[in-house]
Structure 1
Amino acid sequence: MKFHLYRITINSKHIYRFLNNTKEIKIRDITFNQNGNDSLASFTINSSDFNTVTGIAKDNNIKIINVHEFGLYKKITHSFFIKLAATFAIFFILFIVISTQFIWKITINGNYSYTQKEILDYVRCLNVTEGVLKNKVNCENIEKNIRENYNDISWVCAEIKGTNLIIHIKENYITEIAKKESRPYNIVSKYSGKIQSIVVRKGTPLVKKNQYVHKNQILIKGVTDVADESGQKLYSVITGSDGDILGKIKFNYNDQIPVKHKYKIYNSSKTYYIPFIKNYRWHIKSKKNKDIEYSESKIKFFENYYFPIGFGKYVSKDYTIKTANYSKKQAEKVLSSKLNNKLAILEQKGYKILAKNVRIVRKKEFYQYKGDVICILPVGKVQYIKDSTLNKIKQEKESVEQTTADR
């Protein structure tokens, strides 16, 4: 089938004059037929010659009796379903182009002690939510606020890929305090224990390795004394303090669970898939003896191009509640698992677990898991220097300078 053609009909008495004026145009399939008293001539031309042919006919006063358009082009442009598909494709492309200007997904990577919900809730407090324009998102501001709000998050990187805002974090207690504080301060001990190592970047160290320290004892002083040639103190200067101090600390651990406990036996479940748009979702309400588990999946194009539409998966589970007593072995397994999870988080943050001496004891209606855990961890914390001390140091220095000037 030809792509785009026209079948033109004129009076047959003009056909030879018409052909003489259109020698450079490809005219084919010439036929003659009778329509009542009129003798007609019909011929076919390409669509690219249509304007030229109609112009020649007008210049020579040749009346075009009929024009019939045919070919694949007409089938495409005149088909309802093809028009509908083309319209849908245009709107779909517009939808994609407009949607890619917004953030439709926020992803948190690298968290283990903080939940996804906890960090996402904080990010949303910064007016960064699904549906915000990408050019309104300040990644540097997000990084700064997260670092300031979470002391044990030492590194943050926010980036936009497609319509996905990805926030990478690194949790670690071993951080440089000086990066987070601007006021003059000393570094004091958070715990009582033995100093395992001390690295001083700024300030005056007041403790040594293997020295036992008490809670709130000054480890690195943010004030340094200036002495004369004989070693006698002249005055003090505020140098600030910064460093990493690790201590060997023994923690008391105590946890318990009741002997009698309730547990669920699930009988049947039903699954529902419900579409959602942006933040508008229809929720299935939980009923008595029924749990609702919800998860959702957003439609995406390639890896990071999410759209504001998707499907929510609801799993409704019926259950009955039973009551039973823990045996000592079962209780120890539950309590030990809780302790191991807590220790795993500490290890991921840079703590080194040296020993755990914990045992289980039954006390009437409870199982108690009690003992101590020994670990190596950062022990330094900030203690601001009092304003009265700062003023005293300032006055002391001014007095010495005045005495020197008088001499």
Structure 2
Amino acid sequence: MILSLWKYMQGYVVIQVRGYSPERFINLCANKNIYIWNVRKISEGYVFCISGKAFFMLSPIAKKTKCRVKILEKVGLPFKFLRVKKRKYFFYGLLFSIASVILLSFFVWRIEIDGNLNYTNEEITAYLAQQNITIGSLKPKIKCSELDDQLLSHFNKTMWVSSELVGTKLIIHIREGVESEIIVDNKKPCDMIATKKGTVVSIITRTGTPLVKQGDEVEKDAILVSGTLEIKELTEIKAVEFTHSDADIFIRTKHPYSDTLEYQYIDKQYIKEKEKKDKAFQLFHFKINVLKPNMKAFRYDTVEKQTQIEPIKNFYLPIYFTTTTYMPFEEVEKVYSPEQAKEILTQRLILHMKKLEENNIQILSNDVIFKEDKKSFIASGSIYVIEKNGDIKFFDETIRRQEYNEYFTEEDGDTP
């Protein structure tokens, strides 16, 4: 192994010897201590390897033995350098390319986001831009742990965020859940009030005084759990304390629902035979169109497919190839039949109820009805649900205390 590497570093040639006496040629090489190896006999003489330096000692031997020497192959570093020297501009270009790739490896050239459903890629990348994290940002300036905390804080419906730098790519993994609760001071006294009108289905109170029970009808803004604790002895109030109310309250209520679909609509009919494509090359922000078709005579939609150069896995470069398909169309006025309109509105209603269920709202029933108008088909009614209710409302402890002045005498004035 070491000997083979040494031969490669020194450089050697594979030659063919033919003529009057090739055997004598080989013997004379041995007599003159010229090292040869891998000797093979062929129909027209011999083939063997010899160092590049020793090759120039073969001319007298060839004349003496009346043999001809032909170089079949040049192997080793010296010959590689000779080739490069002849192509110096290629060599300089190669060095420039290597240096450019090394330099580009210090930047982010691709941002990928996965797991996001409630928030679009555009919303997240816009926020990243506010934090000065964009395509072309320096990798050392991106602190993934800090970025995770910022994303969790800004996007309330995220339960977990993990970002990582892989090659020249920034990957942001997101797991979404229910909207994060706003952090409040749980030591500050407050009541819990109803946010909607409805019927109490269940109430589990952890702190505070419940003012309603199962089956009670409540109005919007009614106090469900009071932050006032009356400490009694039998029926007599001995002291009053104030606390931060906390409870799980579920009420049966209704959500108004309304949706409209106009009978007349515009249908796009695409003209397949008129479709045209444009290919473009982009380096950083500089874009060159190979041939942009003339589509002035048509109204058209475009579909763009962009491919980013990735010479090595996860090592993206700011080089893009884009194919744009221009799809001309004609607009044709059409009219939904009542059956079609009802089916579309029904599917919209089902989708709306699914979204409610995704937010942990239990659907009981609905009384949505469909009716025809002169120009449109209308769905209207209510969706009856059971949902968690109750919002905190802070109160001024001093004002609330005035309602119980008779219980705060000089003797118990220190009562909290």
TM-score, reference length from structure 1: 0.68
Question: Following the alignment from structure 2 to structure 1, what is the Cα–Cα distance between the partners of residues 99 and 90?
Answer: 14
Cα offsets for 1:301-350 (capped at 9, x unmatched): 66654443333342211000000111011112222233333333333333
What displacement does 1:368 show?
A: 0.6
- Conserved? CA contact 2:228–2:241, under 8 Å: yes
Could you say if the C-alpha distance between residues 375 and 405 of structure 1 is closer, same or farther in structure 2, counting changes exceeding 3 Å? closer
1:259 alignment partner in structure 2: 263
Q: Does 1:216 align with 2:221?
A: yes
Question: Following the alignment from structure 2 to structure 1, what is the Cα–Cα distance between the partners of residues 94 and 106?
Answer: 19
Whichever residue aligns with residue 378 of structure 1, its letter is K
2:328 alignment partner in structure 1: 318
Could you say if the C-alpha distance between residues 348 and 272 of structure 1 is closer, same or farther in structure 2, counting changes exceeding 3 Å? farther
- Conserved? CA contact 1:146–1:156, under 8 Å: no
The CA RMSD over aligned residues, in Å, is 4.1
- Conserved? CA contact 1:236–1:393, under 8 Å: no
Counting only pairs closer than 5 Å after superposition, residues 182-261 of structure 1 correspond to structure 2 as 182=185, 184=188, 185-221=190-226, 223-225=227-229, 227=231, 229=233, 232-237=237-242, 239-261=243-265
Counting only pairs closer than 5 Å after superposition, residues 8-407 of structure 1 correspond to structure 2 as 28=34, 71-80=75-84, 94-151=99-156, 153-162=157-166, 163-173=169-179, 177=181, 180-182=183-185, 184=188, 185-221=190-226, 223-225=227-229, 227=231, 229=233, 232-237=237-242, 239-268=243-272, 269-278=275-284, 289-300=299-310, 304-383=314-393, 385-386=394-395, 389-392=396-399, 400=408, 403-404=411-412
Cα offsets for 1:134-157 (capped at 9, x unmatched): 343344554455455444x15131
Give structure 2 stretches of 5+ with no counterpart: 14-31, 37-49, 54-73
Question: Following the alignment from structure 2 to structure 1, what is the Cα–Cα distance between the partners of residues 367 and 191?
Answer: 34
What displacement does 1:292 show?
A: 1.8
Whichever residue aligns with residue 217 of structure 2, its letter is Y
- Conserved? CA contact 1:148–1:180, under 8 Å: no
Cα offsets for 1:198-219 (capped at 9, x unmatched): 4545544443344333222333
- Conserved? CA contact 2:145–2:163, under 8 Å: no
Cα offsets for 1:210-230 (capped at 9, x unmatched): 433322233344x34252655
Give structure 1 stretches of 5+ with no counterpart: 8-25, 31-43, 48-69
Question: Following the alignment from structure 1 to structure 2, what is the Cα–Cα distance between the partners of residues 243 and 306?
Answer: 52
Could you say if the C-alpha distance between residues 392 and 325 of structure 1 is closer, same or farther in structure 2, counting changes exceeding 3 Å? same
Could you say if the C-alpha distance between residues 363 and 96 of structure 1 is closer, same or farther in structure 2, counting changes exceeding 3 Å? same
Question: Following the alignment from structure 1 to structure 2, what is the Cα–Cα distance between the partners of residues 220 and 136?
Answer: 49
User: Which shows bigger deviation, 312-321 or 109-118?
Assistant: 109-118
Identity %: 23
What displacement does 1:127 show?
A: 2.8
Could you say if the C-alpha distance between residues 29 and 103 of structure 1 is closer, same or farther in structure 2, counting changes exceeding 3 Å? closer
The 3-state SS of whatever aligns with 2:213 is coil
TM-score, reference length from structure 2: 0.67
Question: Following the alignment from structure 1 to structure 2, what is the Cα–Cα distance between the partners of residues 279 and 403?
Answer: 78
The 3-state SS of whatever aligns with 1:77 is helix
- Conserved? CA contact 1:106–1:167, under 8 Å: no
Cα offsets for 1:269-322 (capped at 9, x unmatched): 223342334455579899661112234343346665444333334221100000
Question: Following the alignment from structure 2 to structure 1, what is the Cα–Cα distance between the partners of residues 152 and 355?
Answer: 19
- Conserved? CA contact 2:148–2:163, under 8 Å: no
What displacement does 1:188 show?
A: 2.7
Question: Following the alignment from structure 1 to structure 2, what is the Cα–Cα distance between the partners of residues 296 and 169?
Answer: 27
Could you say if the C-alpha distance between residues 109 and 127 of structure 1 is closer, same or farther in structure 2, counting changes exceeding 3 Å? same
Question: Following the alignment from structure 2 to structure 1, what is the Cα–Cα distance between the partners of residues 96 and 114?
Answer: 34
The 3-state SS of whatever aligns with 2:244 is coil
What displacement does 1:254 show?
A: 0.7
Could you say if the C-alpha distance between residues 261 and 215 of structure 1 is closer, same or farther in structure 2, counting changes exceeding 3 Å? same
- Conserved? CA contact 1:102–1:134, under 8 Å: yes
- Conserved? CA contact 1:164–1:306, under 8 Å: no
The 3-state SS of whatever aligns with 1:403 is coil
1:20 alignment partner in structure 2: none
Could you say if the C-alpha distance between residues 314 and 71 of structure 1 is closer, same or farther in structure 2, counting changes exceeding 3 Å? closer
Question: Following the alignment from structure 1 to structure 2, what is the Cα–Cα distance between the partners of residues 278 and 208?
Answer: 65
Whichever residue aligns with residue 381 of structure 1, its letter is D
- Conserved? CA contact 1:253–1:373, under 8 Å: yes
The 3-state SS of whatever aligns with 2:356 is helix
Question: Following the alignment from structure 1 to structure 2, what is the Cα–Cα distance between the partners of residues 105 and 401?
Answer: 70
Question: Following the alignment from structure 2 to structure 1, what is the Cα–Cα distance between the partners of residues 410 and 158?
Answer: 45
The 3-state SS of whatever aligns with 1:350 is coil
Could you say if the C-alpha distance between residues 92 and 325 of structure 1 is closer, same or farther in structure 2, counting changes exceeding 3 Å? same
